[in-house]
Structure 1
């Protein structure tokens, strides 16, 4: 199996197995509308087998950091349509990642109290328009409100298809809302959504099932980060948790499961063994490391372990033509750390691509080059 061979993914035929991982870049307008620079940025990276966008909030209350895009207004849909048009014109394929931040938000960003499965504050800070601030205690969703949030995800997915996306990925990782319901330390509910594993997976399963029913399971992916404690998450028994989650989701026929690889290799192997469909793996923290092609080497090892697609974040961030660079062994651009979050086009759309190779001269009637 090669990174550079074509592969079927849901309704799509991908030209290679490299995926551009979702990365928050904070370049949207204050109203959450994607900008023309975002269209340029994603179109530059259209040689990826599949692009997964940055996390996009399904509602104002779902926003975490400032200047992140939404998908809950007509203006946001129109802004994303410019992005998908640009990517498709460049020959690419693109999924919208839908992310509800849950308790990883702040009233100074959206003027609302964050919501979560339980009123448990996450330890840590978040960047706001007024600088870094401690995370606040969220408001626990009532049982009656949970279906409303499920509908937010469904409507966001429908709007994503309206905006021209080839599908959506639901963000169930990194300590955001879906993950907060899964984890024992952030979910202390006593209703049908809390307590034992079969209850803690309920919200995630309901969201995935509802979105799949609305737009087609073969246009839906789910991202997970088992065993990772980002945003003050502690899952409890991760193997039991994800075994139950994958058993519930496997019959749906989703486009993919996106694994942000765990440091626990036994857990990674359990995920692969328990998932019958397409597995996207983001090795995390493997790129860039010396030597410069460590990310490529790690990707090839994951293909040998059973991954179907490999997601690169920082590699695509600094190398719009990462596929060509990996294919040819060309050197990689260094990341401009000052351009990671927010700002203008510097450190965003100004990373150089390789010079195009010269075209072969046209042949004359006898097959000889034309002078």
Structure 2
């Protein structure tokens, strides 16, 4: 598995800083792979494929450290925040594709300063990949709840744990998908979306989970970027467990679950709204249940895959720590309260936490 993280560039006052191009021009090989994202206030890092969670944790920490070092040369900070707590006016990266998107999609593009975490998990081929996509949908919402790290937007509280998920949902192709049944049906669906002329190209088919166009992987795209490394490792472990569990189910001839897209979309909305602090939708019943119970059901669902990978004890430990300290949204709200509502201080505290466990 490998993980791509979108990170927020900040000035020393905690406001988003449009310095991505400067950072990339001044980066060196020791900073690791760094790329643009849609806005000048963002950087993207990517790990090499990892087999163990220790490898993944080291790679994530190295990537974040490289981004921080490259940003520091341009007098900027880096934070793993899924949205900026501080009000901003985003600066679109000056690339033709991004400028076309800005022109075509209006405020959806103008305000798209959001940072996600994309987990890539290897699959044998497109047939296995589509079989996985057809089976993991009900469990993606709990991953969003675990990662939720965007309670503030444009300088104020939103009432959501992941407001990034609300902003991202404005894109016409974002969200859950139906059961495809075959690689041919999947690729036909993608081609049909592109043929509408509504999106610019295949890369703008923003399903919650999709076949990667660059790697032999399934790409899970539902999560906020995680505030700390341990939460990102937990996300990666559960994502790999989900993919492996789904692949085994398909190989055993088990049919995909009955999960209509309208219920998946509602479950996603609820996870973004409530995070771990309220009820989520239980994939077994599609009724509300405490987040602790739904996350527990997720772990039970992937337990065999976690155990076989040697991940179960680590996941249990990381999950216990997450319940104790709260996800990124909880911690941001705690910091805001301690700072008497100063959201600049929240951004700066997040920058300090970039490499924390």
- The normalised TM-score by structure 1 is 0.27
Higher-RCO chain (CA-CA 8 Å, sequence separation at least 6) = 2
Structure showing greater Rg:
1
- The normalised TM-score by structure 2 is 0.28
* Larger helix fraction of residues: 2
